[in-house]
């Protein structure tokens, strides 16, 4: 078991914010996200378990990133 602070990441998407918290020593629990088929309306995290809750703004579509050339949605 770890003593790292436990934080809940809501609407994580690809969760760059959660990754930054992990790099700083936090343990991140990712909540549901529509990107992965989750439904926040059915999510009930246990009370009193988390040191904090994190969540960033939605990611922008790739075509709006400065300097980005859209080449399709493939990986």
Alpha carbon distances (Å) from 42 to 2, 5, 35, 61: 28, 25, 15, 27
CA gap 7, 26 in Å, rounded: 7
Provide CB contacts within 8 A for 27, sequence distance 6+: 2, 4, 5, 6, 7
As given in the structure block, the two tokens for residue 22 are: 């992990």
The pLDDT-based confidence of 75 (bands split at 50, 70, 90) is very low
CA gap 28, 18 in Å, rounded: 6
Contact of 6 with 26, CB cutoff 8 Å: yes
| pLDDT for the residue numbered 72 | 56
Domain boundaries, the chain: 6-64
pTM higher than 0.75: no
The pLDDT-based confidence of 14 (bands split at 50, 70, 90) is confident
Q: pLDDT tens-digit profile of 19-74?
A: 999 999 999 998 888 777 788 888 888 889 999 999 887 776 655 556 655 555 55
């Amino acid at each position: 078991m770890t003593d790292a602070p436990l934080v809940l990441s809501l609407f994580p998407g690809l969760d760059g914010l959660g990754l930054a918290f992990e790099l700083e020593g936090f343990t991140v629990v990712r909540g549901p996200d529509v990107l992965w088929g989750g439904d926040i309306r059915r999510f009930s995290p246990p009370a009193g378990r988390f040191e904090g809750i994190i969540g960033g703004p939605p990611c922008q579509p790739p075509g709006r990133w400065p300097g980005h050339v859209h080449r399709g949605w493939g990986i």
